[in-house]
């Protein structure tokens, strides 16, 4: 080691780091007491490896809809990513999370087993948000909202059953339902949420026992279920004896004042199952969600999570509890909401100036705009044109279960500062003009 330090004029730390990297790559091996040795290079197999046997074993591949690929895209220099709904790092609760994790990491119970429903403290925090009559016994902690949807689809319905989804809707729900063998069945919506009469018709026609709704700032439309329709949805669920899965994905992100309590708050008979997510308001890595349910449905969901992964990581659960109870959490939310509201308004006004033929109404909360395209403009062609100008957008068909015949874009406004959003609007306007 000393010889390498002298030869290359580097510090001992640098040499140790390089050696660790070589060991990880299989180029070197460390033998305690003897030293570090270069390994013999592996002899490459001259023949091609044949994996065709897997085709026979796997059989026909299920047709799984897309829509989640953008979550894996790396941001490239000069590209404005309006297809990613997570707020930028400067708006995330990194400092609060670091402090919360530091307080939890030394506790032995953060590394031990915990009850399948989750650690009691975190369940109590989520139950307290809803208030009476809910208690910690009604709450199940899952590793994110997507895992919650997956469990609900697998244990509260059978393969081949229909599951009613808002149209347009969150693509992740469609993917999870399809992989569970369910049949996504659309119900129309408007600016005030799902249409109750249409919902009743779909349930009567299909016999579905699962309905998935996003009553608060629905993805992608941004609609909020009106007070009158909330009561109608609960009555319909009771009439048809079905479950309504409330995906409360941005509960913390009302930007223009409160939009009311969760749908489950007024449910007395256990028809509503609520999923409360944290990641949009805290950080993408906070893969913790709370499922609130009652009766046999909750018991089945607990068994499903136990079979899948025993329990969500206790350290992450403890960190989530510390985060939600921290004095700075509410201050963080106030700052986040103000920043998102500013960016939302900036993007709406910039589009009105630089792409006036587009129609976009500022949502009351959430993280994205639902933009209507002029008649005759192909959304896929516009997305390609925007990408060529350095702006990634999400096309509306990704979110639609039935072809609407109208073009849409979903534009997230939390990832970039106001100045960058104005630049994005200018580029979208230029792309639109090039097509029209």
3-state DSSP of 365-411: ECCEEEEECCCCCCHHHHHHHHHHCCEECEEHHHHCCCCCCCCEEEE
CA gyration radius, the chain: 25
Residue 200 pLDDT > 90: yes
Residue 431 pLDDT > 70: yes
Q: Are 235 and 320 in contact (CB under 8 A)?
A: no
C-beta atoms surrounding 46 within 10 Å: 5
Q: Identify the burial level of 33 via C-beta atoms within 10 angstroms of its C-beta, where 0-12 means exposed, 13-18 middle and 19 or more buried.
A: exposed
Q: Read off the DSSP letter of residue 52.
A: T
For 41-80, the pLDDT digits (tens) are 655 555 677 877 777 887 777 666 666 665 555 556 678 8
Q: Read off the DSSP letter of residue 254.
A: B
For 388-417, the pLDDT digits (tens) are 999 999 999 999 988 777 899 999 999 999
Q: How confident is the model at residue 275 (pLDDT cuts 50, 70, 90)?
A: very high
Average of per-residue pLDDT across 336-363: 95
CATH code of the domain occupying 69-85+330-435 = 3.90.1150.10
Q: Read off the DSSP letter of residue 78.
A: T
Average of per-residue pLDDT across 114-120: 89
pLDDT confidence of residue 31: 78
Identify any residues that bridge with 121 across adjacent strands, giving them in sequence order.
Answer: none
Mean pLDDT across the chain:
89
pLDDT confidence of residue 92: 93
pLDDT confidence of residue 344: 96
Between CA 392 and CA 262 the distance in angstroms is 33
C-beta atoms surrounding 107 within 10 Å: 12
CATH code of the domain occupying 108-325 = 3.40.640.10
Looking at the chain, the domain(s) classified CATH 3.40.640.10 span 108-325
pLDDT confidence of residue 143: 92
Residue 128 pLDDT > 90: yes
pLDDT confidence of residue 411: 95
Q: Which two tokens stand for residue 42?
A: 């592996």
Average of per-residue pLDDT across 200-207: 96
Longest dimension (CA), the chain: 81
Lowest mean pLDDT among 57-61, 101-105, 428-432: 57-61
Q: Which two tokens stand for residue 277?
A: 């997510």
261 alpha-carbon distance from chain centroid: 21
End-to-end CA distance of the chain: 66
Average of per-residue pLDDT across 351-371: 94
Between CA 427 and CA 405 the distance in angstroms is 25
pLDDT confidence of residue 46: 52
332 alpha-carbon distance from chain centroid: 20
Between CA 197 and CA 311 the distance in angstroms is 39
- For the question of whether the overall pTM of this predicted structure is more than 0.85, the answer is no
For 286-333, the pLDDT digits (tens) are 999 999 999 999 999 999 888 778 878 888 899 999 999 999 999 999
Between CA 62 and CA 143 the distance in angstroms is 25
Between CA 80 and CA 393 the distance in angstroms is 9
């Amino acid at each position: 080691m000393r010889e390498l330090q002298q030869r290359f004029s580097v510090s001992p730390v640098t040499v140790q780091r390089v050696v660790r990297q070589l060991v990880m790559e299989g180029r070197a091996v460390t033998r305690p007491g003897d030293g570090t040795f270069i390994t013999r290079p592996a002899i490459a197999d001259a023949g091609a490896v044949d994996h065709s046997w897997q085709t026979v074993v796997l059989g026909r591949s299920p047709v799984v809809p897309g829509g989640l690929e953008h979550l894996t895209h790396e941001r490239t220099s000069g590209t404005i990513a309006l297809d990613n709904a997570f707020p930028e790092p400067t708006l995330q609760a990194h400092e609060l999370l670091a402090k919360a994790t530091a307080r939890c990491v030394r506790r032995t119970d953060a590394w031990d087993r915990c009850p399948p429903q989750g650690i009691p403290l975190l369940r109590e925090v989520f139950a307290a948000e809803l208030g009476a009559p809910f208690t910690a016994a009604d709450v199940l902690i899952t590793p994110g909202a997507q895992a919650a949807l997956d469990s609900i689809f697998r244990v509260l319905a059978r393969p081949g059953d229909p599951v009613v989804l808002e149209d347009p809707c969150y693509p992740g729900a469609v993917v999870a339902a399809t992989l569970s063998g369910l049949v996504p069945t659309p119900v129309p919506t408007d600016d005030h949420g799902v249409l109750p009469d249409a919902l009743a018709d779909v349930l009567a026609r299909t016999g579905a026992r699962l309905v998935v709704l996003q009553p608060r700032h629905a993805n992608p439309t941004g609609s909020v279920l009106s007070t009158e329709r909330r009561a109608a949805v609960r009555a319909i669920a009771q009439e048809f004896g079905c479950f309504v899965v409330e995906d409360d994905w941005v509960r913390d992100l009302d930007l223009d004042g409160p939009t009311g309590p969760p749908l489950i708050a007024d449910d007395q008979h256990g028809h509503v199952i609520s999923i409360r997510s944290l990641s949009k308001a805290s950080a993408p890595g906070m893969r913790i969600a709370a499922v609130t349910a009652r009766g046999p449905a909750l018991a089945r969901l607990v068994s499903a999570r136990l079979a899948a992964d025993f329990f969500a990581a206790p350290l992450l659960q403890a960190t989530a509890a510390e985060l939600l109870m921290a004095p700075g959490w509410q201050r963080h939310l106030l700052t986040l909401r103000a920043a998102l509201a500013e960016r939302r308004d900036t993007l709406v006004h910039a589009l009105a100036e630089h792409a006036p033929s587009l129609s976009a109404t500022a949502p009351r909360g959430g993280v994205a705009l639902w933009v209507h395209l002029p008649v005759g403009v192909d959304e896929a062609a516009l997305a390609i044109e925007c990408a060529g100008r350095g702006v990634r957008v999400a096309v509306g068909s990704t979110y639609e279960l039935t072809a609407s015949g109208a073009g849409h874009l979903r534009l997230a406004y939390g990832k970039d500062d106001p100045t960058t959003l104005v630049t994005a609007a200018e580029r979208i306007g230029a792309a639109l003009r090039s097509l029209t």
